Amino acid sequence: MKAKIDIKRLLILLVVGVALASCAESFLESDPVNAYTEETFYKTDEQMYAALAAAYAPLRWNSIWGSTVALGEIRSDNAAAGGGSPTDNLDVQSVGNFTNTEVNQVSDDQWGKNYACIYRANLIINSEYNSDITKVYKAEAKFLRAWAYFDLLRIFGPCVLSTETLYSEEHSFERSTRAEIYAFIEKDLKEAIPDLKEVHDNANIGRVTVGAARALLGKMYIYQASWNNNDPAIFEKAIAPLQAVVDSGKYSLFDDYSQLFRPFQENNSESVFEIQYSTLGDNADNNQGTGNHFMNHYGLRGLDNNHPELYSGWGFCLPRKALWDYFLEDDTIRRNASAYTYKEVVTDYNATKPASAKKVTWELARYNQDAWEGFASKKYTKWKGYTIIGAVNRNLPGNLRVIRYGEVYLLLAEAYLRGTSHNEAKAKELINTLREKRVVVMPGESSFRTVDDLIAKYSQFSSVLDVLWYERRVELAGEGDRWHDLVRRQEAASVITAGSYASNWDDKDVYIPISLKEIGASGGSLKAYPEE
């Protein structure tokens, strides 16, 4: 971050316009704002709307370096970086194996996209223009700012709180405390909730709702409690906003988990907050267009074009066998929805085709053999079937599921279980409701296995909390939360040092470092890692 930011000398192109917005098609296709200067902007409802659209845009800056999903998976025991060799996209490889330094594109992109969002949100929040509709816009901007700080806190540790858009040359940018950042996120979300809409019309699907803000507030409390010695009082604070999401009746658990991430299932009944992508933008930019570029990195490497549903991709974020084996015997639906196998993609598919038909081939030798364990990413992959304008690799489909309703159930169960009320019965009820939707009934058994059944049957479960940790890993496998769960539970070190990268681990590696570029831009006031 530069110490001097002078908006008076910048075009509003810094807000880049609705053409880069992260919402539904009509929201994407409004007039851009780069024809205006700062002096003539933020003066009408229409201009405020355009500025809001631009504030959403950085959420979508998701090449492999900026992918929230990849970072949360490849650092954990769920996945390996993958690719074509141990040096393919070396910055990503080094983040995954804990050899990264301060010179790394992953650090640049993760920091940059979040502070771009914060900067643009500040422009809206600080505007003196007000109307009935701009109350909603400012509330959405506060959510976006809160999400960006929550993401930064998980990735970099305590970071820089910025509420302004212009700072003096002498200003020293330094990390705030963790407590200050949590308090700031809480304040933003609590201020946003009364003014947010419960739902948006189809033209604005993807914009923030009151449910999204309540869910994020509850998730923030869960993390805050974990970092405060598992404080029951903070866990208890998470109950009200999360229960309100459940009681709203606006969401429901998807009937078939295997279809949750399938084509054309964006914004389904489990969507609390999704980052929207468009295949119709004809974008050439790898990172800042409207298409989902990071899906190209996740696609199956070496797959031929005969597969009816999948394009070939670059083979990153490869699920590990340990994850596949972690699923219990009744949890085949969630397991099979999380990873592709050669049997499914090639053997089973070809078996349905006549001898004269073109068969699917998948050249597994093209993968990084140090990482390949027989599984490829399935929740995020390179789907066919969508209308794509422009280059396929730049305009791929697939929204990023930031908060799903299934996770709300697990967050609420954790709050009930670990809060001052310690309502174990309620936690079991929530977990059982989720499991009833997700797992199969085993032969010879009359119903699905409940929390109590799991504790009785498996030695790995000695408490309801053990079952909760199991549920979080399998429910959210491949979605980017695993690493952050390990960190907040203070289990990252023990998991990593028991695995392949033990010799690379240092306790500072619970975070990635602020990049050397940003340290230099701050005049040296920022340090790579927090001192906590």
Tell me, what's the pLDDT at 500? 85
Domain with residue 32: its CATH number is 1.25.40.390
In this structure, is residue 285 part of a structural domain?
no
Looking at residue 35, what is its pLDDT?
52
Average pLDDT over residues 78-94: 97
Q: Residue 459, exposed/middle/buried by CB under 10 A (0-12, 13-18, 19+)?
A: exposed
First to last CA, the chain: 21
- Quote the pLDDT of residue 36: 62
Residues 339 and 241 in one domain: no
Same domain, 243 and 151: yes
Asked if residue 131 lies in contact with residue 45, where contact means CB atoms within 8 angstroms, the answer is yes
Identify which of 77, 201, 98 has the alpha carbon closest to the alpha carbon of residue 510: 98
- pLDDT level of residue 20 (50, 70, 90 thresholds): very low
My answer on whether 306 and 243 are in the same domain is no
Of 7, 101, 13, the C-alpha closest to 50 is: 13
What per-residue confidence (pLDDT) applies to 26?
42
Q: Are residues 92 and 144 in the same domain?
A: yes
What average pLDDT does the segment 219-227 reach? 98
Q: How far apart are CA 401 and CA 259, in angstroms?
A: 14
Q: How far apart are the C-alpha atoms of 368 and 314, rounded to whole Å?
A: 10
In the predicted structure, residue 6 carries a pLDDT above the cut 80: no
Q: What is the mean pLDDT of residues 216-223?
A: 98
**pLDDT band, residue 428 (cuts 50/70/90):** very high
User: CA quadruple 76, 80, 86, 91: dihedral positive or negative?
Assistant: negative
356, 391, 426: which is the final residue of a domain? 391
Q: What is the mean pLDDT of residues 96-100?
A: 96
- Identify the band that residue 39 occupies on the pLDDT scale cut at 50, 70 and 90: low
Please enumerate in sequence order all residues whose Cβ is within 8 A of that of 234, keeping only pairs 6 or more positions apart, or say none. Answer: 221, 224, 225, 228
Q: How far is CA 474 from CA 75, 254, 433, 439, in A?
A: 17, 16, 15, 11
pLDDT of residue 22: 35
Same domain for 41 and 132: yes
Residue 281 belongs to some domain of the structure: no
- Average pLDDT value for residue range 156-173: 89
Residues 385 and 412 in one domain: no
Domain boundary among 391, 424, 442: 391
Give the separation between CA 436 and CA 449, rounded to whole angstroms: 8
Are 38 and 137 in the same domain? yes
Here the tokens at position 1 are: 């971050």
**Do 410 and 316 share a structural domain?**
no
Do residue 361 and residue 247 come from a single domain?
Answer: no
282 versus 9: which is more confidently predicted? 282
- Give residue 176's pLDDT band: very low, low, confident or very high (50, 70, 90): very high
Task: Give yes or no for residue 46 having a pLDDT over 50.
Answer: yes
Give 532's pLDDT tier (boundaries 50, 70, 90).
confident
| 203, 205, 211, 213: CA torsion to nearest 10 | -100
pLDDT tens string 483-518: 999 999 999 999 999 988 999 999 999 999 999 999
**pLDDT confidence of residue 37:** 63
Mean pLDDT of 415-441: 98
Number of domains in the chain: 2
Domain of residue 375, residue span? 294-391
pLDDT band at 62 (very low <50, low <70, confident <90, very high): confident
Listed in sequence order, the residues at least 6 apart from 422 whose beta carbon sits closer than 8 Å to its beta carbon are 232, 416
Residue 532 within a domain? no
Distance in angstroms (rounded) separating the CA atoms of residues 500 and 502: 6
Q: Are residues 67 and 201 in the same domain?
A: yes
One domain, residues 262 and 302: no
276 domain-assigned? no
**Maximal CA-CA distance, the chain:** 74
Helix orientation angle between 239-247 and 210-227, rounded to the nearest 10 degrees: 150
pLDDT tens digits for range 357-404? 889 999 999 999 999 999 999 999 999 999 999 889 889 999 999 999
Q: Which residues pair with 400 in a beta bridge?
A: 275
pLDDT given for residue 355 in this prediction: 86
Task: Give the Å distances, CA to CA, from 531 to 177, 225, 500, 528.
Answer: 10, 20, 27, 9
As a whole number of angstroms, the distance between CA 65 and CA 42 comes to 33
Confidence category of residue 64, pLDDT binned at 50, 70, 90: confident
Residue 210 lies in a domain: yes
Per-residue model confidence (pLDDT) at position 13? 31
DSSP 140-204: HHHHHHHHHHHHHHHHHSS------S---TT-------HHHHHHHHHHHHHHHGGGS-S---GGG
Q: What pLDDT is stored for residue 268 in this prediction? A: 96
| Reported pTM | 0.93
- Which range among 6-20, 212-226, 301-315 shows the weakest confidence by mean pLDDT? 6-20
The torsion angle over the Cα atoms of residues 21, 24, 26 and 32, rounded to 10 degrees, is 0
Q: What percent of the chain has pLDDT over 90?
A: 83
DSSP string, 344-367: IIIIIHHHTS-TTSPPP-B-GGGS
Chosen domain end from 329, 361, 391 = 391
Q: What is the rounded distance in angstroms from the CA atom of residue 159 to the CA atom of residue 139? A: 23
- In angstroms, the CA 406 to CA 400 distance is 15
For the chain, what is the total number of helices (H) and then of strands (E)?
22, 6
Domain shared by 184 and 40, yes or no: yes
Domain assignment of residue 287, yes or no: no
Per the prediction, the chain carries an average pLDDT of 91
Does residue 515 sit within a domain? yes
Asked if the structure places residue 66 within a domain, the reply is yes
